[in-house]
Structure 1
Amino acid sequence: MRLPRLAFLAGLGLVSCASPEPPKPVPVPPAALVPPPVEPPEAPAPEPAAEAAAGITLEQLLDVHRATAPRALGREKFLFLSDAPGTMQIFSASLDAAPTAEPTAPVQLTKFPDRVVALRLAPGGKGAVFLKDKGGDENFQIHWLDLAAGDKPEATQALSDAPKVRHTLPVFDDAGKRFTFTSNARNGKDMDLYVEALPAKKETFGKKPVVALSGSHAVADFLGDRVIVSEMRSGFDQDLWLIDAKNASKKLLTKHKGDERWVSPRFTRDGKSLLVLTDRGREFLSLVALDVATGKVTPVLELDHDVQDLDLPSYTSRKAEAGQPEDIVALTVNVDGVEEVHVVTLDAKRKVVSKKKTDLGGVVSSLDLAPAGDVAFVGLERPNLPTEVYRVDVATGAVTRATKSHHAGIDTSRLVPAELITMKASDGKTISFFYYQTPPNAGEKRPVVISVHGGPEGQAQPNFSPLVQWLALSGYAVAAPNVRGSTGYGKSFSHLDDKEKREDSVRDLSEVGKFIAARPDVDPARIALLGGSYGGYMVLAGLTLYPDQWAAGVDIVGIANFRTFLEQTAPYRRHLREAEYGSLAKDGAFLDRVSPIHKVDRIKAPLMVVHGTRDPRVPIGEARQIAEAVKKRGLPVELLTFEDEGHGIAKRKNRLVAFPAMVDFLDKHVKAKASP
């Protein structure tokens, strides 16, 4: 089960915890989630943008609602997250048995001012746990949702109330009598393992860990007393542990040297093995069976692309019925940034019996198999198709749209698709990028925005982005590159920007810009950079290392100074980031050398900086110091901050301020710029 992507990534196309009185379920009109009145922005909003060539406004694009993170109650009923209220909240819905029937009206189950980031159903479907934070601080608190309570006030209950503590999403045991999670309550850094009996009581919740752990850990599965815990040392190096929930004994299942990924482990039906994704001995993630008793690894499905995600049913029976497959697996395969959805069945020896590719393809945000294994619910989007939930029939492969969100009256057929373009870098490496543009007029030379993804353990994919769509519809071209260090192209490619090679990826960015500048329909003097998180660092690095190449830059929650970033990022994240960037103790001089703040005298282009003041990942000080340094040089600089946001812009009311401001900045310094 994949958790939903961060709000800033989805939004950019790049990047008290409980209400005083629990909300009652709110029926929503059929066929669309009707938008609520927009709250007044915290800062004066720019003038409404002009209507694009397709008759679509930026405000319309920002008012498109997203439905994602489905959790199957059965073949027809499911929960999902929607940002219809302005932040992601939990809704319930059901599909008519007829495959051609329209989705029924969803019912809103939570109503908080801040986002719900993830949810998981309890066995039997009587309740669910979910995580939410406050103002984007990512100190996620655990809540219980009683699905049998209807509209009673006690339907939603906060189980944890520790504003400075981060919790991970609980995993239920197969009997539904306990759940387990990790939390950094002990010291703010290490994620320890906790087990709670149900019904959980707030008074005693999370008081004592079952096992104290060192480092970053999250629970993956829970069967009987056996807990599978994933230890993350970096984005490319994980281990799996088997922990006994009763006696707290630990067993390492994936002993290895060097970097290996072990992702999305799930117990097989018989409980003897884990089905898990790994790149052990391979360039790409593949599906293997890991014997829990012996540690033997058996290949199940190996492809020349990453198997990106997987899910198994929460089996109601641990023994397959006659004629039924031993295990059913829904999985996604990443082919050049576009994900395919497959359904695979296995026999008791973990051999593939059948493999079906469904008609679903795009960017998959979530994947969930129903308990019976008969259907899978998928959250999926494309550039010209905003995120919706779909149901896949496992037996037939038939696809049914399960949600029909409010699209603000936009004819999605008029949205701009993405074209995949490849090029060779100066050292012969293949670099690809997604290119968005409307057909150019004869002799037209248009401005370009290069949108850089975050991570760096990430990938630019062809998703729906209001900002990218607006820019493309209003006369820009937009390029979203996957420079070296991006995932999805093999293990070796992902490591080409490690530590001392950091600025090699910035050279790729420059070469992508030069490749695009050579197009006959592009004005080489009007190419700008835009990026979020690590993509924000790439914007600043591009402006400092190749200052004559860019017309402007937009840095969203980006790193300006690796030293202050590592000193001030949340303690539970520091060791993960040092594994990627280098440590201050060993690599301090190098980190200073590659920090854009120390090369700010080279910047020649106007800069806009956007940041949330509650950001635990890249603290607000990164934005303030780079904006102040550029201002001292007398260059145009704009700093836009939000007091109720963290690592990105999650709330619609704030996107209605931030996105038009970014467009105005780009129009002023790029689109309106006269060619030399």
Structure 2
Amino acid sequence: MINSNQALFRYLNVRGAFQPQVLPNQQALTFISKETGIPQVWKWDATTTQIQQYSDLPDRVLSVHHSPSGKQTIVGIDEHGNEKQQLYILHENSLNAQELVVSKEHFHQFGGWSPDESKIAFTSNRRHPGYFDIFIIDLETKTEEVVYQVDGNCTPIAWTKDGEQLILSMPDTNIDQSYYILNLKKKELHKLFEGSALARYQSLQQSKNGEGGFLLTDLDQNTLGIHQFTFKGSSELQQLLLIDKWDIEEIKLSPDSSLLAFTINEGGFSRLGIYDVTKQTHHFIENVPNGVVDSLTWLNDNELCFGLKSPILPGDIWKFSLEESQIERITFIGEAKDVQHLWQQPELCTFSSFDGLEVPYFLYGKTDNAQPLVVYVHGGPEHQIRAEYNPVIQYLAANGFAVAAPNVRGSMGYGRTYVKLDDVRKRMDSVADLKWLAEDLVKTHGADPKRIGIMGRSYGGFMVLAALTHYADIWAAGVDIVGISHFKSFLENTGSWRRKLREFEYGSLKDDVDFFEEIAPLNHTDKIKVPLLIFHGRNDTRVPVSEAEQLATDLKEQGKQVELFIFEDEGHQTEKIENHIKMNTQIVQFMQEFL
């Protein structure tokens, strides 16, 4: 058992390598890592297997986009966690990035390189806080042009292969979107798959000939599957591969367009496979460590690279050779030899909730001998707890706590039906899942009913507050990180670009204020019986810091035990290691004291 703050620092200070992307024509790839303390770009060279720093920017790197030749790279960074991404350009073999698209009060989303590398596309909300217009900038003259105005949210996907059109994604609901084609000469927009029902579309890949490609969708299905499409002629999708019960969540087309690498999300674990486009057959790759695979990228037609994380692998880059059927770990940044022997693999369990719904959860540590228990609730709400390294969960488990991390109704990864089970006025059904989880852990795993704590981030913070106010007798302590205390004030104060989409999930200011008032934790603070710890970032553009301030003020006026920490240099995420240490040291000490 470890008990010191220094031990917690070792858990929190574990690095990792994420989001690999092949550098075209170089037999090399880049990835993001916090080796210098904040996320920066690093390069791995296949010929030397050496790693070197690729960017040195003043704040965290959010995105990386290499040009078709690999000689230039667009890097997106924000400022103090505010998520207002600005775009910089890096030239080959130079750490020094130059400002390219900078308007610090606004958001920018990269939209792809033109095939000849002379231009890039991006969207920005410069005209209106909630409208993301489409821009093109000439890289030689630095001249910007608004090519289309969009009175809503919009994310560019890529240029078409002929350089004449842009592919755009526009959200329809909190989980659904549609794809559009923008003709740059005519400034005309038309919808792909016109007339289709609401659906998720993602991971679009263009074929080498530019006539169409492949994508993932759950159109008329419960789960995401691989489909083929063409830009011209029929707008119908041809289904190639659908897995019963589970989503296929990412695809990547090989350089010669003959193979599709794909991942399946099986209850929070990934399965990696290869689909042969010509033969229309598929097989799965063996010996991939149990965990989460993402960021598929082809080094060449024979070698596939990807990021891999697991509860005992904080994140590194791996390579699979098709010819040799061999898998190889190519970075070891996630190693932590002084503490990794203490990390635990969780048990994947389920419990039956109040209405008979089977709800999955990961269980860390042992719950015998009436062990104290922490329930860890994810955000989103459409996110999913995955089989990934979490330093706080691992530290708590190593120090005598059991930790249960559930995917309550409304979580992604289990199909459309499951993710819609908590929409709008069904919101409190997911909170009830937490009550039934706690009772099941006492009954089936021997948890001490008097020593159950709960913690969560973002929407998970709301779940913590809702659980403490609506099922007050179950919990012994709570931790709310960037959480929502009242949906009405949250929707009024969040960015207007997010409000419309969040209303599909939570309900609207027009129709559901009575329900917001009914369930708001802020309206039921008199029911909170246990100590509460609150954290928030001053620069949070998703959940405004006012959500934390109004809650803490109310509880203090009642004489309740509450403590609020505000990080002046963070946003919705907590990125800086010193803030991680401060926050999680407080959380661990808090749980040790009250559980």
TM-score band by shorter chain is: over 0.9
User: What is the CA distance between 1:450 and its match in structure 2?
Assistant: 0.5
**1-side partners of 2:441 and 2:489: how far apart?**
34
> Aligned pair 1:212/2:165, yes or no?
no
SS of 2:110's equivalent in the other structure is coil
The answer on whether the counterparts of 2:76 and 2:87 sit within 8 Å (CA) in structure 1 is yes
Residue type matched to 2:153 in 1?
A: S
- Rounded to whole Å, the distance in 2 between the matches of 1:506 and 1:354 is 40
2:331 is the counterpart of 1:403:
yes
Cα deviation, residue 422, structure 1: 1.1
Task: List per-residue Cα deviations over 1:24-51 (Å, max 9, x = no partner).
Answer: xxxxxxxxxxxxxxxxxxxxxxxxx725
Q: Is the 8 A contact 1:63 1:407 kept in 2?
A: no
CA drift of 1:177 comes to 3.0
Query: Distance in 2 between the 1:215 and 1:624 partners?
Result: 30
Residue pairs, 1:280-319, within 5 angstroms: 280-293=219-232, 294-304=234-244, 305-313=246-254, 315=255
1:661 — aligned with what? Answer: 586
Q: Report how far residue 357 of structure 1 moved.
A: 2.5
Per the TM alignment, residue 376 of structure 1 is displaced from its structure 2 partner at its CA by: 2.3
Tell me the distance in 2 between the aligned counterparts of 1:88 and 1:418.
28
2:318 alignment partner, one of 364, 385, 390: 390
| 3-state secondary structure, aligned to 2:573 | coil
Corresponding residue for residue 588 of structure 1: 513
- Deviation of 1:72 (Å): 0.8
**How much does 1:229 deviate?**
0.5
* CA distance in structure 1 between the aligned counterparts of 2:40 and 2:103, rounded to whole angstroms: 21
SS in 1 for 2:108: coil
Per-residue deviation, residues 360-411 of structure 1 (Å, max 9, x unmatched): 2544463232363332221111101111111222444422212111644335
- 1:272 corresponding residue in structure 2: 211
For the 8 Å contact 2:194–2:235, the answer to whether it is kept is no
Instruction: Report SS of the residue matched to 1:386.
Output: strand
Pairs within 5 Å for 1:196-595: 196-199=137-140, 201=142, 204-205=143-144, 208-223=145-160, 224=162, 225-256=164-195, 259-293=198-232, 294-304=234-244, 305-313=246-254, 315=255, 326-347=257-278, 352-364=280-292, 366-370=294-298, 372-405=300-333, 407-437=335-365, 439=366, 444-519=369-444, 521-595=446-520
SS in 1 for 2:360: strand
Q: Give the secondary-structure state (helix, strand or coil) at the position aligned to 2:504.
A: helix
C-alpha contact 1:451 1:531 (8 A) present in aligned 2:
yes
In structure 2, how many angstroms separate the alpha carbons of the residues matched to 1:525 and 1:417? 26
Partner of 1:60: 10
Distance in 2 (alpha carbons) for counterparts of 1:75 and 1:374: 15
CA deviations over 1:115-154 (Å, ceiling 9, x no partner): 1011011111101111110011111001111124x36xxx
Structure 2 residue identity aligned to 1:331: F
Q: What runs of 5+ residues in structure 2 fail to find an aligned partner? A: none
Cα offsets for 1:557-592 (capped at 9, x unmatched): 010011111111112111111111111012111122
CA contact (8 A) 2:59 2:77 kept: yes
User: Which of 117, 127, 131 does residue 76 from structure 2 map onto?
Assistant: 131
Distance of aligned partners of 1:637 and 1:343 in 2 relative to their CA distance in 1, 3 Å threshold: same
Amino acid at match of 1:377: C
Q: Does 1:71 align with 2:71?
A: no
AA aligned opposite 1:515: D
Asked if the contact 2:27–2:46 (Cα under 8 Å) also holds between the matched residues in 1, the reply is: yes
> C-alpha displacement at 1:113, in angstroms?
3.7
Residues 234 and 411 from structure 1, CA distance in 2 versus in 1: closer, same or farther, beyond 3 angstroms? same
Distance, in Å, in 1 between the alignment partners of 2:148 and 2:291 is 37
- Amino acid across the alignment from 1:230: S
Aligned equivalents of 2:63, 2:219: Cα separation in 1: 29
**Contact persistence 1:537–1:560 (CA under 8 A):** yes
Residue identity matched to 2:303: V
Does the 8 Å CA contact 1:86/1:653 hold for their aligned counterparts?
no
Identity between Structure 1 and Structure 2 (%): 32
Aligned partner of 1:88 among 32, 35, 39: 39
Structure 1 SS opposite 2:449 = strand
Tell me the SS of whatever aligns to 2:511: helix
Q: 1:556 deviation in Å? A: 0.5
Contact 1:128–1:145 under 8 Å retained in 2: yes
Tell me, in whole angstroms, the C-alpha distance in 2 between the residues paired with 1:365 and 1:544.
37
Change (3 A) 1:272 1:420: same
Asked if the contact 1:339/1:361 (under 8 Å) is kept, the reply is: no
Distance 1:357 1:624, change over 3 A: same
**Kindly tell me: are residues 553 and 386 of structure 1, through their superposed partners in 2, closer, same or farther at Cα, counting changes over 3 Å?**
same
Q: For the residues of structure 1 that align with 2:195 and 2:532, how far apart are their CA atoms?
A: 45
Indicate if the aligned counterparts of 2:114 and 2:120 stay in contact, CA closer than 8 A.
yes
Q: Which residue of 2 aligns with 1:21?
A: none
Deviates more, 1:275-284 or 1:250-259: 250-259
Paired letter, 2:3: A
Please point out which of 185, 204, 216 is paired with 2:126: 185
SS at the partner of 2:154? strand
Q: 1:585 to 1:257 in 2, by over 3 A?
A: farther
Equivalence for 1:607: 532
SS at match of 1:194: strand
Deviation at 1:62, TM superposition (A): 1.0
User: Which amino acid in the other structure matches residue 502 of structure 1?
Assistant: R
User: Once superposed, what is the RMSD of the aligned Cα atoms?
Assistant: 2.0
**In structure 1, what is the Cα distance between the partners aligned to 2:438 and 2:430?**
13
Moved more, 117-126 or 271-280: 271-280
TM-score between both structures, scaled by the size of structure 1? 0.84
The separation in 2 between residues aligned to 1:394 and 1:243, in whole angstroms, is: 37
Q: Which residue pairs with 2:3 in the alignment? A: 50
8 Å contact from structure 2 (residues 299, 305) kept in 1? no
Residue 353 of structure 1: CA displacement?
Answer: 4.2
Of the three residues 114, 121, 138, the one matched with 2:59 is 114
Distance 1:375 1:214, change over 3 A: farther
C-alpha deviations, 1:267-286, integer Å up to 9, x for none?
A: 12222223111111111011
| TM-superposition CA deviations, 1:486-542 (whole Å, max 9, x none) | 111111111000001000000011101110122454211111111001100000000
2:207–2:213 Cα contact (<8 Å) kept = yes
Residue type matched to 2:46 in 1? L
- Cα shift readout 1:245-275 (whole Å, capped 9, x = no counterpart): 2222111013346531111212122222231
- Is 1:537–1:555's contact at 8 Å kept on the other side of the alignment? yes
Give 5+ residue unaligned stretches, structure 1: 1-48, 98-102, 321-325, 671-676
Instruction: State the Cα distance separating 1:174 from its structure 2 match.
Output: 3.1
- Separation in 1, partners of 2:73, 2:226: 29
